Amino acid sequence: MIITRKIEFSASHVCRSPLLSDQQNLELYGPAANPNGHGHNYVVEVSLAGDPDPVTGMVLDLKDLKELLNREIVAPYDHRFLNYEAAPFDKIVPTAENLAREIWRRLEPQLRGPRGRLHSVRLYETADLFVDYSGEQPCSE
């Protein structure tokens, strides 16, 4: 069974790589390369895979999951400028891909319970763009 909890945070970012020229950054990232930054209402769907506990009927207590997501995602990112305030985005570009992977890395070690394990992270940058990340194993299904 897959269970999913959704959270939101609002943050600003700039997508530009110091290794690329201004022109290359503009071609690659488009308007997201604006040096002064811009923002999104990010939506994150965190999915766990597991079997419900026969006694409680739960894969994981969603209150606990909510607290974990608040601590690991909302607290460090909400109403922040990611490039300046949220490591490692001072060193890597805060693209939707890198954000999804960073969220996976923060959550995965803490979601290895006997019944529920982290299955995937879906990060919506806008309603029209989202990224799914499930760790580094090959994702053929």
Partner 1 sequence: MFRVTRRYTFAASHRLHSSQLPDEENRRIYGKCNNPYGHGHNYFLEVTARGPADETTGIAAPLAALDSLVRREVLLPFDHRNLNTDSDAFHEAVPTTENLAVEIARRLKRNWRSAFPGEWPILEKIRIEETTRNIFEIKADEIE
By CB under 8 A, name the binding residues for partner 1. Answer: 15, 17, 19-20, 27-28, 30, 92-98, 100-101, 127-134, 136-139
* Nearer to partner 1 (CB atom), residue 50 or residue 94: 94
CB of 52 vs partner 1, minimal distance in Å:
27
Nearest-angstrom CA–CA distance, 57 and 50: 11
CB of 67 vs partner 1, minimal distance in Å:
27
Question: Which DSSP string do the residues of 18-37 spell out, in sequence order?
Answer: TTS-HHHHHHHHGGGG-TT-
Nearest-angstrom CA–CA distance, 4 and 2: 7
Residue 10: C-alpha distances to residues 7, 71, 111 (Å): 11, 15, 24
* Nearer to partner 1 (CB atom), residue 114 or residue 128: 128
* Nearer to partner 1 (CB atom), residue 61 or residue 132: 132
